[in-house]
Structure 1
Amino acid sequence: MGGGMKSFWEKVLPFAAMVVVECGEVGMITLGKAAMNNGLSNLVYVVYYNALGTFLLLPNFIVHSCRSNRPPLTLSVLSKLFGLGLLGICLLQVCAYAGINYSSPTLAAALGNLIPAFTFLFAIMFRIEKFDIRKSPSQAKAIGTIVAITGAFVMTLYQGPPLFNRILDHDSNTNLLSSQQSNNWVLGGLLITITCICSSSWNVFQTATVKEYPDEVTVVFLFCCFGTVQCALFTLLYERNIDVWILDNSTEWVSIVFAAFFGTAVRNSLITWCLRKKGPIFVSMFKPISMVIAVIMGMLFLGDVLHLGSVIGAVVIALGVYTVLYGQSKDSILMINDVSRLESATENTPLIQK
């Protein structure tokens, strides 16, 4: 009974953790979009919330370091954590919020469905995932990847006519969707696509790092610390106007505090734990959930309009993603059957006598 309950929680907890991650991510980018519409620089936003999030992680890191016998931090591990910070914060988050600033959280959530496809490609490249074109699961994963990427091109290059009017009528003074902001849909889509590529490679890279250094608390704190410093230096070089660092309204404060607590402290810890438990493809497969949440929140709180191109592209991406996941599940079943046949053959084979 105890073993059954343990097996149950081992399956349920990673699933629940990833649902929480996706819901929180959509809330985070929606608040971030609202703050950027009010004039907050996307670079300053990334620096502030990661700095505050790293500060929130510091007490747990100190206590953990004093109480546990963690493995020694070698130069190889430190260089990997430095690379994770550069890829996961300085490059990934800067491109992500720049893309959201040019487009919308709905487009970001929809294009985020590309992450499972890109993760699959990177997993093959780094030999985490096996691929044999002669087998049907591998064929399904290859076709699904191509379909998902095609859907992303549709969403990026074709916006289409609006399907619904805004749910809320905002006046010119209170509308969170800034009418004066340049809304370059294609550029935003390209930046978010770059973000998906970075996120997929980060998932694979993070999985390999945690396997080499299995201490999630240390890994999360140090790569957040490295990434924050890198992003701060880049922002100081790029943003020469000191006024961009001043927070003017409550929306900016709320978005930064929420992103620091959830995005840096909670999200990174949950994802790192799930990557160690289940691997990069499991983590990436939850991205389609965020699409529905983003559409609802964007229409309710940002006054976003749902366009035909977004719907068509999202449907195509979802078909591609679930084709990849179907191939993944078939591959797992075949692997279990192969192991069972091997064990059965071993049990039935008589010992070779001298």
Structure 2
Amino acid sequence: MRKNSALVSAVAFSIIIGFSFMFIKIALTYEGQLLILAQRFTFAFLGLLLFLAIRPINLRLNRKEVMLVLVISLIYPILFFSSQILGLNQTTVTEAGIIQAIAPAITVLLARLFLKEQIQRIQGIGISLSIVGVVFLQLMNNSGGYEFHLIGNLLIILSIFATAIWQVMSRSATKTVAPIQITIYIMFIGFLFFNAMYFINGGSVNEYVDSVKEIPYLLSILFLGVLSTLGTSLLSIYAVSKLPVIQVSVFNNVTTLITILSGVLFLSESFHYYHVIGAVVIILGVILVNAKQKPDCSNAT
């Protein structure tokens, strides 16, 4: 039963993240990155307070657990959300979605390094293939005369690394700290950090309040704050606490598909033939990474 719940959580997490790219793009047409991040975490924090009012949680942690949560918070939400929104401001949702497909490969690699999960030869080939697909996309963008989104795409890759590191660290952290406790602390830290950054950089209270009067912007921030920030944090941490990180990472394929479709269908972004080729190469690599592993007999005694 718990395994099924974890699988449902992983699917829900991937679907929400897939649509979040589109809502970030919509929000960026109204306001700047710092204000979006500040309000995103304000709504996430308000949602968290409502949750705690309904279901009080014991927040007591020992010193070692506090330090672990602080390190996780530097990766997610601070590094992840900063690089994601900066990247999307300089690339398209379609390209970001395709690049997102390398996330499982990166997660598998980090799980091998830090969780000592075994990587078979076919998975190594898959990781390499996914990277080749991303490089191919960038080369085709440049040679085809289209705008070259190198910086934006590198920032999206940085956000993918942040996600992978966060999932690996969360897998380890949930052995001693409850997933809900981790979520509460990282949401609170994100709320403090991004709001402080906004006001330190000259943000005003009037702009903070007036911006949410635009209905499309308000709906985007509500989605990003309550569902894509608070919701996905709860869902992802719960999923990796019950399932191997590598198994959870395969659901990034759902994220990739939804992100690409949302960019093309709702934001009318262009979609070229090389996007299809690049996507196929990347996803093929992901399939190889997540192929069912055969028992490793080389270590048999």
TM-score by length of 1: 0.76
Deviation string 1:60-117 (CA, Å, 9 cap, x unpaired) is: 3355446xxx584011111111122221111111111111121122222211111111
In structure 2, how many angstroms separate the alpha carbons of the residues matched to 1:161 and 1:231? 38
Deviation string 1:300-346 (CA, Å, 9 cap, x unpaired) is: 221111123322221111111111111xx214xx27x99xx99xxxx
Rate the CA distance shift 1:241–1:184 in 2: closer, same or farther, 3 A. Answer: farther
Partner of 1:187: 151
Partner of 1:6: none
Identity %: 21
Gaps of 5+ in 2: none
User: Are 1:58 and 2:46 counterparts?
Assistant: no
In structure 2, how many angstroms separate the alpha carbons of the residues matched to 1:33 and 1:41? 11
Partner of 1:219: 182
In structure 1, how many angstroms separate the alpha carbons of the residues matched to 2:94 and 2:48? 30
User: Are 1:155 and 2:155 counterparts?
Assistant: no
Rate the CA distance shift 1:50–1:99 in 2: closer, same or farther, 3 A. Answer: same
In structure 1, how many angstroms separate the alpha carbons of the residues matched to 2:54 and 2:227? 20
Q: Check the 8 A contact 2:97/2:255 in 1, yes or no.
A: yes
Matched letter for residue 186 of structure 2: F
Q: Check the 8 A contact 1:81/1:226 in 2, yes or no.
A: no
Partner of 1:141: 123
In structure 2, how many angstroms separate the alpha carbons of the residues matched to 1:130 and 1:294? 30
User: Are 1:14 and 2:2 counterparts?
Assistant: no
Matched letter for residue 295 of structure 1: I
Q: Check the 8 A contact 1:119/1:281 in 2, yes or no.
A: yes
Residue 41 of structure 1: CA displacement?
Answer: 1.1
In structure 1, how many angstroms separate the alpha carbons of the residues matched to 2:137 and 2:71? 31
Residue 198 of structure 1: CA displacement?
Answer: 0.9
Q: Check the 8 A contact 1:149/1:317 in 2, yes or no.
A: yes
Q: Secondary structure at the match of 1:142?
A: helix
Matched letter for residue 320 of structure 1: G
In structure 2, how many angstroms separate the alpha carbons of the residues matched to 1:207 and 1:284? 12
Map 1:29-44 → 2, pairs under 5 A: 29-37=21-29, 39-44=30-35
Q: 1:98 aligns with which of 72, 82, 86?
A: 86
Partner of 2:253: 288
Q: 1:47 aligns with which of 25, 28, 38?
A: 38
Matched letter for residue 143 of structure 1: I
Q: 1:251 aligns with which of 210, 216, 219?
A: 216
Map 1:167-182 → 2, pairs under 5 A: none
Q: Secondary structure at the match of 1:113?
A: helix
Map 1:98-117 → 2, pairs under 5 A: 98-117=86-105
Q: Secondary structure at the match of 1:99?
A: helix
Q: Check the 8 A contact 1:50/1:264 in 2, yes or no.
A: yes
153-162 or 23-32, larger mean C-alpha shift: 153-162
Partner of 1:234: 197
In structure 2, how many angstroms separate the alpha carbons of the residues matched to 1:78 and 1:323? 38
Q: Check the 8 A contact 1:26/1:105 in 2, yes or no.
A: no
Residue 184 of structure 1: CA displacement?
Answer: 5.6
The size of the alignment, in residue pairs, is 295
Partner of 1:273: 238
Matched letter for residue 80 of structure 2: L
Q: Secondary structure at the match of 1:212?
A: coil
In structure 2, how many angstroms separate the alpha carbons of the residues matched to 1:51 and 1:271? 20
Q: Check the 8 A contact 1:58/1:221 in 2, yes or no.
A: no
Moved over 6 A (4+): none
In structure 1, how many angstroms separate the alpha carbons of the residues matched to 2:150 and 2:243? 34
Deviation string 1:165-223 (CA, Å, 9 cap, x unpaired) is: xxxxxxxxxxxxxxxxxx7621111110111111111110111111121x122111111
User: Are 1:302 and 2:290 counterparts?
Assistant: no
User: Are 1:25 and 2:25 counterparts?
Assistant: no
Q: Check the 8 A contact 2:6/2:239 in 1, yes or no.
A: yes
In structure 1, how many angstroms separate the alpha carbons of the residues matched to 2:180 and 2:126? 35
Q: Check the 8 A contact 1:108/1:189 in 2, yes or no.
A: yes
Residue 127 of structure 1: CA displacement?
Answer: 3.2
Gaps of 5+ in 1: 1-8, 132-137, 163-182, 343-354
Deviation string 1:36-62 (CA, Å, 9 cap, x unpaired) is: 12x311222122111211221124335
TM-score by length of 2: 0.88
User: Are 1:201 and 2:159 counterparts?
Assistant: no
Residue 161 of structure 1: CA displacement?
Answer: 5.7
In structure 2, how many angstroms separate the alpha carbons of the residues matched to 1:308 and 1:91? 33
Q: Check the 8 A contact 1:86/1:226 in 2, yes or no.
A: no
